Amino acid sequence: MEWLVATAVAAMTSAGIYLTLSARTFTVVIGLTLLTYATNLFLFTTGRLTINQPDIISDPLAPHADPIPQALVLTAIVISFGVTALILAMAVRGYFESDGDHVDLLGPEETVARGRK
Amino acid sequence: MNHWLILPILIPATVAPLLALAVRNDIVLARIFSVGSTVLLAVIGMLQLGMAADGTTRTYALGNWPAPFGIVLVLDRLSAIMLVLTAVLGLLVLLYAINGCDRRGEHFHPLFQFQLMGLNGAFLTGDLFNLFVFFEVLLIASYGLMVHGGGAARIRAGIQYVVVNLVGSSIFLLSLGLIYGVTGTLNMADLAVKVPEVLPGDSALLYCGAALLLVVFGIKSALVPLQFWLPGTYANTSGPVAALFSIMTKVGAYAIIRVYTLAFGESAEDGAWFASGGLMAAAAATLAVGMIGVVAARSLSQQASFAALASMGTLMIAIAGFTPSTESAALYYLVHSTLAIAALFLLIDAVVIRRAGFGDALTTAPPFASLGLIGGLFFVTVIAVLGLPPLSGFVGKLLVLDATVGLSGWPLIWGLILVTTLLGLIGFASSGSRLFWKSGSLPGRLEPVSAVPLALPMVAVGSLLALLILLTGFSGPVTAYFDATAEQLFDSQQYVEAVLGESRGEQ
């Protein structure tokens, strides 16, 4: 299971970084979303990977799942969801300002003229 | 329990929704509430500065959950200084903004209050994850303030600012995950206890997390090579917002001082002061890039942005020394540079709205309204920003130079600080003479962009400069307070005992 989770985090992080470095706001937003997914999954694993364990501690010696990373992930999900919505709104505004989704707000002609994809 | 500690977060958190929901259509009421709340914050800040002066570290357990299980707010000298600085800066910037800047878009005042709430929370919290949450609060408010007023250039810079900070937030969470995974705690005091106990096999993971945390704080405080967001953001936002943002970079500086003296300082044994070397190199590069930018800038706001960057460089050089005397010098320079940079950005806004057609471009143009007054204030402000005598910038740089003596490579640091000051002087002398001196003798007259009241904006700028003069005049008592603050910072045992109780502290 460690292998599965680790590769999932690695794949999402690398895809996220690649997309974030692109020149279109749409792909940048997708990249940021992937990056936050990877982060959330990583945070979740810091409580160690356990299956079928209670996260309410009744007996400190009995095996249990660590509830704190779950609470942290929940907070992180809420915040990243809100901020993603915000950057989408700003990207849409940028689209109306420039008639294109280039991160430097270049219009379609300018993008072609400067040879930027 | 001392309920005073939660008020700097509670007041703006109550006023902001009120402003957004109840008085959204009445700008006069919104201004009254906003200024009232900020005045209240300044008064409470002063009281807390007095409270903290006795040297005890006060704690407030939220929901009465004991640390390290619950979140604690901690008030010591350093937090109190930052609270007062935030409230005073906020008040003066608000005085400037209520002359019309707050009407160029919607929801200026609620965003402003949320920004203050995030800042105050970040300065008070004693928990790393809570620090992340307050960082997000202040960042989300700053996204709104940054694009306030709109326009293509501002939206473009805004999108890039948000993207950089979102990546920063992800790195913050990754570093918190690493630190929690190894130590099992995110409470800063508990972390200070646990870091020396970490098994040798795990310490690589722990320091990986701590180094990532340094990257995050480096993004917030715009250290080279993470500074690319700053010039675009500061130069493209409105004057009052840029002035308020002069404290945003200081949040990063505060977090570095707090975390790396408490948890990764003397008590960390093998890893003690591991942040120092890298931070010093980055700080020196920041100072150089900043001052070269000041010479190369093509507009006044760009020039001021690079001056802000350079001031972060000087500040970080002092912080990276990690000795009581360098931290004390750093605090003095922190207070000085926040106020001086804010005054500079407010003045630039005053120039921009008076130069229709020319804005803040560094070209000669016919004179604009009240050129003499603004030019004079610009002269005084730049003297403060660059650190020339007789203003507090000079005292600040002198303290930094004096405190760095004896650090490895200190002659290099001295040379860098002195040479870059000369560079900055050349840059600002050329822009000042073009904008004010030569323009003053040209025929004709520029019309302002819109009707511009003179009184309140000049009161705001004048008060900032007056504070700088006070900081110079009373530098004796002020540095005594900062010396005591640095001493308290380096006594991490006392912080741990205040948060966790006597028994845990002794372990």
Give me the interface pTM, i.e. the ipTM. Answer: 0.92
Nearest alpha carbon to residue B227 among B120, B316, B296, B338? B316
Share of chain A above pLDDT 70, in %: 91
Q: Predicted confidence band at B482 (pLDDT cuts at 50, 70, 90)?
A: very high
CB within 8 Å: B170 and A39: yes
Share of chain A above pLDDT 90, in %: 51
What's the mean pLDDT when you consider all of chain B?
91
**Would residue B184 be called left, alpha or beta, if left means φ above 0 and alpha means ψ between -120 and 50 degrees?**
left
**Choice among A81-85, B2-6, B500-504 with the minimum mean pLDDT:** B500-504
**Choice among A51-55, A110-114, B382-386 with the minimum mean pLDDT:** A110-114
Domain boundaries, chain B: 1-233+255-265, 275-473
Residue B47 clears pLDDT 90, i.e. is over it: yes
Mean pLDDT, rounded, for B212-232: 93
Residue of A nearest to B143 (CA): A86
Q: Predicted confidence band at B506 (pLDDT cuts at 50, 70, 90)?
A: very low
To the nearest whole Å, the CA of B182 is away from the closest chain A CA by 8
More confident call, B368 vs B125? B125
Residue B196 clears pLDDT 70, i.e. is over it: yes
Q: Does B174 touch chain A (CB under 8 A)?
A: yes
The backbone torsions φ and ψ at residue B164, rounded to the nearest 5 degrees and listed phi first, read -60, -45
Do residues B294 and B344 make contact, with C-beta atoms less than 8 angstroms apart?
Answer: no
What is the residue-wise DSSP string for B254-314?
A: HHHHHHHHHTSSGGGGGGTTTTHHHHHHHHHHHHHHHHHHHHH-SBHHHHHHHHHHHHHHH
CB within 8 Å: A79 and B181: no
pLDDT of residue B398: 95
pLDDT of residue B41: 96
Nearest alpha carbon to residue B5 among B52, B54, B66, B68? B52
Nearest alpha carbon to residue B379 among B361, B391, B367? B391
CB within 8 Å: B174 and A39: yes
Residue A117 clears pLDDT 70, i.e. is over it: no
The string of pLDDT tens digits covering residues B88-101 is 999 999 999 988 78
Task: Give the pair of three-digit tokens for residue B18.
Answer: 């009120």
Q: Predicted confidence band at B356 (pLDDT cuts at 50, 70, 90)?
A: confident
Name every chain B residue with its beta carbon within 8 A of the beta carbon of A20: 163, 167
pLDDT of residue B3: 87
| Farthest-apart Cα atoms in chain A, separation | 69
CB within 8 Å: B170 and A35: yes
Task: Give the pair of three-digit tokens for residue B70.
Answer: 């619950």
Mean pLDDT, rounded, for B390-402: 94
pLDDT of residue B328: 96
Q: CA B233 → CA A19, B16, B157, B167, B394, distances in Å?
A: 23, 24, 6, 16, 28
Task: Judge residue A114's burial from the number of C-beta atoms within 10 Å of its C-beta, 0-12 exposed, 13-18 middle, 19 or more buried.
Answer: exposed
Q: Does B205 touch chain A (CB under 8 A)?
A: no
Mean pLDDT, rounded, for B98-108: 84
Residue of A nearest to B162 (CA): A87
pLDDT of residue B441: 81
Name every chain A residue with its beta carbon within 8 A of the beta carbon of B167: 20, 32, 35
CB within 8 Å: B162 and A87: yes
Share of chain B above pLDDT 70, in %: 98
B-interface mutation test, from A72, A81, A104, most B Cβ less than 10 A away = A72
CB within 8 Å: B152 and A105: yes
**Choice among B140-144, B150-154, B327-331 with the minimum mean pLDDT:** B150-154
Mean pLDDT, rounded, for B463-470: 96
**Choice among B81-85, B364-368, B422-426, B440-444 with the minimum mean pLDDT:** B440-444
Please enumerate residues of A whose Cβ is less than 8 A from a Cβ of B: 20, 25, 28, 32, 35-36, 38-40, 42-43, 45-46, 68-69, 72, 75-76, 79-80, 82-83, 86-87, 90-91, 93-94, 97-98, 103-105
**Choice among B355-364, B389-398, B455-464, B477-486 with the minimum mean pLDDT:** B355-364
Q: Across the interface, which of A28, A39, A86 has its CB nearest the CB of B173?
A: A39
CB within 8 Å: B169 and A83: yes
| A·B CB contacts under 8 A | 86
Mean pLDDT, rounded, for A3-12: 95
Residue B502 clears pLDDT 70, i.e. is over it: no
Nearest alpha carbon to residue B502 among B189, B257, B80? B189
To the nearest whole Å, the CA of B95 is away from the closest chain A CA by 28
Mean pLDDT, rounded, for B416-442: 91
* Residues B112-133 as b or e (16 or more Cβ within 10 Å = b): bbbbbbbbbbbbbbbbbbbbbb
Cα torsion for B334, B335, B341, B342, to the nearest 10°?
Answer: 140
Q: At what angle do helices B392-404 and B371-386 cross, to 10 degrees?
A: 10
More confident call, B507 vs B11? B11
- Is domain A2-50+66-113 annotated with CATH 1.10.287.3510? yes
Residue A114 clears pLDDT 90, i.e. is over it: no
pLDDT of residue A100: 80
A-interface mutation test, from B114, B145, B166, most A Cβ less than 10 A away = B166
Q: Does B136 touch chain A (CB under 8 A)?
A: yes
**Choice among A91-100, B27-36, B281-290, B498-507 with the minimum mean pLDDT:** B498-507
pLDDT of residue A111: 67
A-interface mutation test, from B127, B129, B163, most A Cβ less than 10 A away = B163
The string of pLDDT tens digits covering residues B49-86 is 999 999 899 999 998 888 888 899 999 999 999 999 99
More confident call, B432 vs B267? B432
Residues A38, A76: Cα–Cα separation, whole Å = 12
Q: Across the interface, which of A42, A68, A94 has its CB nearest the CB of B155?
A: A94
pLDDT of residue B507: 43
